[in-house]
Chain A
Amino acid sequence: MAPLKSWLQVDPKSHFSLHNIPFGIISTLDTPEPHPAVAIGEYALDLHVFSQQNGFSALSIIQPHQKVFSEPTLNAFAALGRPIHRVVREYLQSLFLDNGPFPDVLEKNEQLRKATLLPLKNCKMHLPMFISDYTDFYAGLNHAYNVGVLFRGPQNALQPNYKHLPVGYHGRASSVVVSGTSIRRPNGQILSNPAAEKKEPVFSECKKLDIELELGCFVCKPSKMGEPIRIEDAPKHLFGVVLLNDWSARDIQAWEYVPLGPFNAKNFGTTISAWVVLIDALEPFATVGIANDTELLPYLDEKDRKSNYAIDLSVSLTTSSSKTTNIGDLLGSGTISGESKTEKGCLLEQTDNGKIEITLEGGEKRTFLEDGDTVTLTGVCGSENGALVGFGDCVGRIEPAVQLNL
């Protein structure tokens, strides 16, 4: 695919190339109320100001709906549906094209450029959508297998249901935060000695704080209670993708999770990247996922549709003394832990449940996260400079647990 060229200076290595155009919610000193924007190179195009100043005048389909660009979340824009997302994204893309079809709108309009093209470093990011419900799935087979081996051995690593249905659980919507939000180490009940016969919990800060490298997908079209979404219609309901760090308290989880699943181990915080990459931007990178040797029931049968994405995912850890180490370079085809030793999407797997230490830049060692550690997830599709489609950072710094004298 030949990279699209822009009149705007966009670094060839930018994850926000002209092939991307992700949507987010920004605020600035000038417009402190959160409002929609798209990212391009090192800039945000402020969609609120852009629409107020008639930037969409050449796009008739959006005319009746422009108030969506003045909302504090992307929900109203998403609700307009995929055909409109596609048209808006392509229109915005076209405004940045070298020799594009609408040079008068932005390229030759200094006043509008000044008003709407804002350096990303001057923008504060907010949660891109109001999340009414959050569900976490478990579809990373290699991760599920690795974790299962740790706790049950290879023969019983995966449960009998694992390949028949995408195992999931409801998460805590209120605990999803935007990249950059600090994450406080949770306190809770942990077993003083997990191997002991008599299980005695103690009250403690979490001592096995972990990450989970995931992708998140936002829904743009609801369904009525009692009416399922057919798999062939599912793409109409999906808006776009973000990176997701499902921070996990492994010791709290181990004690609480039987029989009703993870709870306080997860609900202290979950971080998502700020820029939603639309499904349309990911289409060129669609691929097959992990092969499922189980025959799926018809309602789960996608037939020939490729709906995983080839996204290179990385995890880096920066200590409080500012040394950064890449702790995972992973290749994803929708999988979040790969098969090899270096492709593990959480510390539980990487350290064999705390048995093996990893050595960081500067010599520090880690099993699980320490206070002051900053974890950054990044993801990018493609390898052609000038055509990269990435997600921006999904980052969080660990703050010490609250001292509760209990």
Chain B
Amino acid sequence: MPSLKSWFPIPKNSHFSLANLPFGIISTASKATPRPAVAIGDHCLDLQEFSASGAFSSLGFDVSVFSKPTLNDFASLGRPVHGSVRKFLQDVFAENSSNAQVLQNNKSLQEKCLIPRDGVTMHLPMQIRDYTDFYAGKNHAFNVGCLFRGPDNALQPNYTHLPVGYHGRASSVVVSGTPITRPNGQILENPAATPKVPTFSPCKRLDIELELGAFLCKGNKMGTNIPISEAADHIFGFVLLNDWSARDIQAWEYVPLGPFLGKNFGSTISPWIVLADALEPFRSTGIPNDTQLLPYLQEKEKNVYDIKLQVDITPDGGETTTILNSNGRNLLFSFAQMLAHHSIGGCPMAVGDLLGSGTISGTEPGSEGSMLEISKGGKETVKLNGGVERKFLQDGDTITMYGVCGTEETGLVGFGECTGKILPAPKL
């Protein structure tokens, strides 16, 4: 892939190289209305201002989508339009471009549209109609299963046959930077005791889950399904997702209907949606599945992505420690398979739906995507920089997730930050 050099100053190690061009929703001090933008290097391009100049007129789509407070209307235009917009912008920013008159030679438009990112407020990039979380990180599922049932019964009989998932709470998905309040709830002080009598308490086992999120740009009518061969048309782009989890609340509540309050106090996503097109060069195979899948789940393409993932923890006023490095390939099922399965019974999907991949853990120590795994079920402490120790999260801790593909030569394609700080539980 040729490296895309730009006339615009883009730091070599930026995750927002010309090979990326992710979409988000910004607001600024001078203009408080949230509107679409594209990230480029240390800047972003205000798409409302940019499109108002007529720059997109040759592409023939309805530019009013760039005056909306979410990306849903833009996403609805479909993948061919997303592709042509992104290609056009790549060309506009390329050195020796045939479109130099659009921006490169237009200083006043540059002043209107190009905004330093450190002065910008990010908003949820899409109106999330429904949120589903899957469980396709096989190593995570195995590790957690081992903790509770031993290796022989770690995975349920259904695990390799279908992408297990559950409906999440759409209203609780927030953009990176939003503080996360420790939940109160029912926990078992002594899970091994009988009879089981819960107490009311702040969560004492607050955890993270490193995931990828996929946003949909196209739905289906109730009663119809999305064939796996068409799944790609429905997927807009990807974000990082931190599925904060209250392990003690979850353990007491989850049988038989699944996780509920253990999850719905908050889930954080990174603010810049990396389009599916931008991840094309990084397609990869995922975890091999030795189970013969039913035909509706069989796919020919490699639909998993090689994304280097990293999670850092920073205690309040303390030093930052990287607590895990993983990779987006550590998934047993792809988003295409999750979507085909989700809609197979006629469930209506919609523009703005968010799918979570499930916790992405590798097989090696240091690659586990949750503190439950890293601490071996809360048995071992993790030593952080600055002489600090952790098993689970404490009040004041900030967790930041990163993801990036590619090399500096070809242009890094990254997700920005997915971050959140833990606030104390309210005293009730």
Q: Taking beta carbons and an 8 Å cutoff, which residues of A are in contact with B?
A: 132-133, 135, 138, 159-161, 164-165, 167-175, 177, 182, 184, 186-189, 199, 201-203, 206, 225-228, 249, 252, 255-264, 267-269, 297-299, 399, 402, 404, 406
Cross-chain contact A268 with B161 (CB below 8 angstroms) = no
User: 4 closest pairs, A vs B, by CB?
Assistant: A261-B258, A186-B345, A226-B181, A184-B223
A268 cross-chain contacts in B, Cβ below 8 A: 222-223, 345-347
Answer yes or no: B78 CB below 8 A from chain A CBs. Answer: no
Interchain CB contact under 8 A, A201 and B345: no
Render B113-124 as a binary contact track against A, CB cut-off 8 A, 1 for contact.
000000000000
Does chain A have a CB within 8 A of B135?
Answer: yes
Using A159-B256, A201-B162, A256-B158 as known contacts, say yes or no to A264 and B344 having CB atoms under 8 A apart: yes
Q: Is the contact region of chain A dominated by helix, strand, or loop, or is it mixed?
A: loop
Residues of B within 8 A of A168 (CB): 257, 260
Are B296 and A404 within 8 A (Cβ)? Answer: yes
Closest to A265 in B: B345
A175 adjacent to B348 (CB under 8 Å): yes
Q: Is the interface of B mostly helix, strand, loop or mixed?
A: loop
The answer to the question of B225 belonging to the interface, with a C-beta cut-off of 8 Å to chain A, is yes
Q: What A residues does B346 contact at CB under 8 A? A: 184, 186-187, 268-269, 402
Q: For the complex, what is the distance from the CA of A215 to the CA of B353, rounded to whole Å?
A: 27
B318 within 8 A of A: no
0/1 interface trace, chain B 163-181, chain A, CB 8 Å (1 if under): 0111111111010000101
In the docked arrangement, what's the CA distance between A187 and B345, Å? 5
Give the Cβ gap from B425 to chain A, nearest Cβ, in Å: 9
Structural contact, B426 and A170, CB atoms closer than 8 A: no
Known A138-B257, A258-B156: A267·B166 in contact at CB below 8 Å: no
Contacts from B to A (Cβ < 8 Å):
129-130, 132, 135, 156-158, 161-162, 164-172, 174, 179, 181, 184, 186, 195-200, 219, 222-225, 252-260, 264-266, 294-296, 341-342, 344-350, 353, 423, 426, 428
For residue B197, which residues in chain A have a CB less than 8 angstroms away from its CB?
A: 164
Given contacts A169-B167, A169-B258, A199-B157, contact A160 B294 (CB under 8 A): no
- Knowing A165-B253, A170-B169, A297-B198, say if A189 contacts B161 (CB, 8 Å): yes
Rounded to whole angstroms, the CA-CA distance of A201 and B266 in the bound complex is 35
Question: Which A residues are in CB contact (< 8 Å) with B266?
Answer: 225-226
Task: Jot down 23 A-B pairs with beta carbons below 8 A, ordered by A.
Answer: A133-B169, A138-B257, A159-B255, A160-B195, A161-B253, A169-B260, A174-B222, A175-B348, A226-B179, A226-B265, A226-B266, A255-B158, A255-B162, A257-B256, A258-B158, A260-B259, A262-B257, A264-B344, A269-B346, A297-B198, A297-B200, A299-B200, A406-B294
Report which of B167, B253, B348 forms a contact with A171, defined as CB distance below 8 A. Answer: B167
Chain A residues near B172 (CB-CB < 8 A): 225
> Quick check: A406 and B349 within 8 Å, CB to CB?
no
- A182 cross-chain contacts in B, Cβ below 8 A: 223
Flag if B253 contacts A177 (CB, 8 Å).
no
B82 to chain A, nearest CB (A): 23
Contact B223 A402 (CB under 8 A): yes
Given contacts A133-B169, A189-B161, A257-B256, contact A228 B428 (CB under 8 A): yes
Contact status of A201 and B161, CB under 8 A, knowing A159-B255, A227-B426, A260-B166: yes
Are A260 and B264 within 8 A (Cβ)?
Answer: no
Provide the bound-state CA to CA distance between A189 and B132, in Å: 19
Partner of A174, one of B130, B196, B253, B255: B130
- Residues in B neighbouring A263, C-beta threshold 8 A: 164-167
How far is it, in angstroms, between the C-alpha of A298 and the C-alpha of B179 when the chains are bound?
27
A226 CA to B75 CA in the complex, in Å?
A: 30
Kindly provide the distance from the CB of A371 to the nearest chain B CB, expressed in whole angstroms.
13
The reply to whether B129 and A174 contact each other, CB–CB distance below 8 Å, is yes
Q: Name the residue in B184, B259, B345 with the highest tally of chain A Cβ atoms < 10 Å from its Cβ.
A: B345
Closest to B348 in A: A174
Q: Specify the chain A residue showing the minimal Cβ separation from B251.
A: A161
Residues of B within 8 A of A164 (CB): 186, 197-198
Apart from A175-B347, A202-B294, list 15 A-B contacts with CB within 8 A.
Answer: A132-B171, A135-B169, A159-B255, A167-B253, A170-B260, A187-B344, A187-B345, A201-B158, A203-B295, A228-B426, A258-B158, A260-B166, A261-B259, A264-B342, A264-B345
CA distance A11 to B174 in the complex (A): 51
A133 touches B170 (CB 8 A): yes
Q: What is the bound-complex CA distance between A187 and B349, given in angstroms? A: 16
Q: How far is the CB of A207 from chain B (nearest CB, A)?
A: 13
> How near does chain B come to A347, taking the closest CB pair, in angstroms?
18
Q: For residue A177, which residues in chain B have a CB less than 8 angstroms away from its CB?
A: 222
A252, A260, A399, A404: the one contacting B258 at CB < 8 Å is: A260
